[in-house]
Amino acid sequence: MQKITLQTLQAKKSKEKIVAITAYDALMAGIFDEFAEIILVGDSLNMSFNAKNDTLGLNVEQMIYHTHAVCAGVKRAFVLADMPFGSYQNTKSALKNALKFYAQTPCDALKLEVNEDKIPLIESLCKEGFAIMAHIGLQPQFMRGEGGYKVKGKEEGEKARLLQLAKDLESAGAFGLLLEGVKSDLGAQITQSVKIPTIGIGAGAQCDGQILVWSDAFGFFDAFKPKFVRTYANGKAFLQEAMKRYAQDIKNGTFPSEKESY
Ligand code: KIV
């Protein structure tokens, strides 16, 4: 089993679609490892794992804890870790916190939600040897400041801005782009305009790869369902049914049986 590297991902551009998914622990990461080229330890864990209303409120230590767990379950996939809100406000704090991820976990790369003001910061991180994926378009870490989750690239001016931003981030050294919540034509235009791979979530079919949050994809998170989510299993109902039978067996005294006892 060959480990997926940054070069593997870059070589897939325009040739083979990249499969990406989130995971927050070794158990799920181990299941997804065979099928996904990228496993993202996303700060979405604050919503789907911690039942919070947004991705804010996680700290570096919490993300490192989950990144550790995911890396422990993975043999093949490229592990990407989200730097949490507030951990890269300036170049100094970004370098300090990126170093914590690299020193304390074997993750392969880091993801940051960035705009024009952070291009020099991305350049500094890349020059220091960090592999960086830049997350642009709809940026959940900005949702309180923007008053909600807003699809980007609806107006020509914003389209042009995001296209230029994508090119500038490539020049700054980002190895890939995560495009979230952008109109499909913009997703396609960015993908065609840069040499680095683009991974989309709600960014149309032309991106070099696609990512979903695992609990959305497999039917465990039903608080709300964004338009871009395709649900591949009814995980919640499946587990509820199994849990019900387990509880019934305990209540009626049929678990444990003779065979399950010492
Ligand atoms: O935190 C996350 O899970 C993300 C998604 C866009 C996949 O960043």
User: pLDDT tens across 180-229, in order?
Assistant: 999 999 999 999 999 999 999 999 999 999 999 999 999 998 877 889 99
Shortest-distance Cα residue to atom 1 of ligand 1: 42
Length of the chain: 262
Mean of pLDDT over the chain? 96
pLDDT number for residue 147: 87
**pLDDT of 159 strictly over 90:** yes
Give the residue, out of 25, 50, 178, with the most ligand 1 atoms within 8 A of its beta carbon, to mutate for a pocket test: 178
Question: Exactly one of 61, 146, 180, 241 is catalytic; which is it?
Answer: 180
**Tens of pLDDT, residues 115-154:** 999 999 999 999 999 999 999 999 999 999 888 889 999 9
**pLDDT of 73 strictly over 90:** yes
CB atoms within 10 A of CB 105: 21
pTM of structure: 0.96
**pLDDT of 48 strictly over 90:** no
Distance between CA 159 and CA 188 in Å, rounded? Answer: 12
Distance between CA 209 and CA 234 in Å, rounded? Answer: 24
